[in-house]
Amino acid sequence: MLKIAIDAMGGDFGPEPIIEGLITALKKNNNFTAIAVGNKEQLLQLIPPNFLSRIEILHTDDVISMSDSATDALKRKDSTIYKAIELVREGNADAVVSAGHSGASMSLATLRIGRIKGVSRPAIATLMPTSENQNTLVLDVGANVDSDAKNLFEFAVMGQVYAQYALRLDEPIVGLLSNGEEDSKGNEVTKEAYKLISKIPNFAGNVEGSDIFKGTVDVVVCDGFVGNILLKTAEGVADTIGKIIKKNLKRSLISIAGAVLMRKVFKNLKVRVDYAEYGGAPLLGVKAPVIIAHGKSNPKAIQNAIFQAINAASSNLDNIIEQRLAKYSSTQQEN
């Protein structure tokens, strides 16, 4: 049975939504137990007695706040995220979920759990909604401000493996984000990355930003600077569209009547663009699953982040990524 370590105090709203999401996940999945890291007295007030057999509490009072620097987490060994990461490092948990300081989670996971052999830098991946009934996995969306061609090649391999074994996609197609589809488009880094990634099966070549939301490919690769701007822009656009629709619906009785008739459509749209449906962003490239949830995560988001951690921990991702990187690297050396 899998054991998931939970940073129970790290979110913007304290432990309540995190524990509620954990309880919901436990109700829906009987194949895991959890270690909640945080203030024992507070957590016991939130956990129903009948769930204490499946939730172990590791007590600590220290929490890395969003205003702290990521380097603080390396020194504060009693913090919730440090202790949660250590549970995985020591083999007492199979994966970790945190809605706390993402920089601290990434730094600790990289240094304490360690990188997969062959990985230069980990990458944060996220799911983007598409016009089709699917999602596009995009990476990196913030772990690395600067990436070279080799990093982008590694991201492509890791993203394809995650899409295949964690998201259960058959032969996922990979695209490289650029300013045009032609081979000649892009800066020097993406042009060099194109040559390296072309050795990977199911590489579709360059894709543009609009392709992410069309579902043209399953995995889109970019550096963390571009990816983070893309992510924040997409969130802003979705929020703005929602506000525009609400504002215009109130202008006439006809609009209100139409909205009533289209309730199901609006509900489906909300589900497609709601980050809570995806749970969190996996940090790919470390030796055990680390899921970084949004700081404002509600219980549903935490539940789905836990399910992501379970899927990743059940998929032997680290070994598969290591094998793929070794295979493709040897092929490039031969050529």
Q: What is the pLDDT of residue 58?
A: 96
Q: What is the pLDDT of residue 269?
A: 59
Q: How far is CA 254 from CA 241, 243, 248, 259, 261, in A?
A: 20, 18, 11, 9, 11
Q: What pTM does this model have?
A: 0.86
Structural tokens at position 81: 């995220």
Q: What is the pLDDT of residue 18?
A: 95
Nearest to residue 46, comparing CAs of 4, 16, 79? 16
Q: Which residues of 309-319 are buried (b: 16+ CB within 10 A; e: fewer)?
A: bbbbbbbebbe
Query: Which residues in the chain show pLDDT less than 50?
Result: none
Strand partners, 31: none
Strand partners, 35: 5, 56
Q: What is the pLDDT of residue 266?
A: 57
Per residue in 263-302, pLDDT (tens digit) is 665 566 555 555 556 678 899 999 999 999 988 889 999 9
Sorted by where each starts, the structural domains of the chain and their CATH numbers stand as: 1-119+285-317 (3.40.718.10), 123-278 (3.40.718.10)
Nearest to residue 322, comparing CAs of 284, 283, 290, 280? 284
Non-local CB neighbours of 81 within 8 Å, separated by 6+ positions = 7, 10, 37, 64, 73, 98, 100, 101, 104, 105, 108
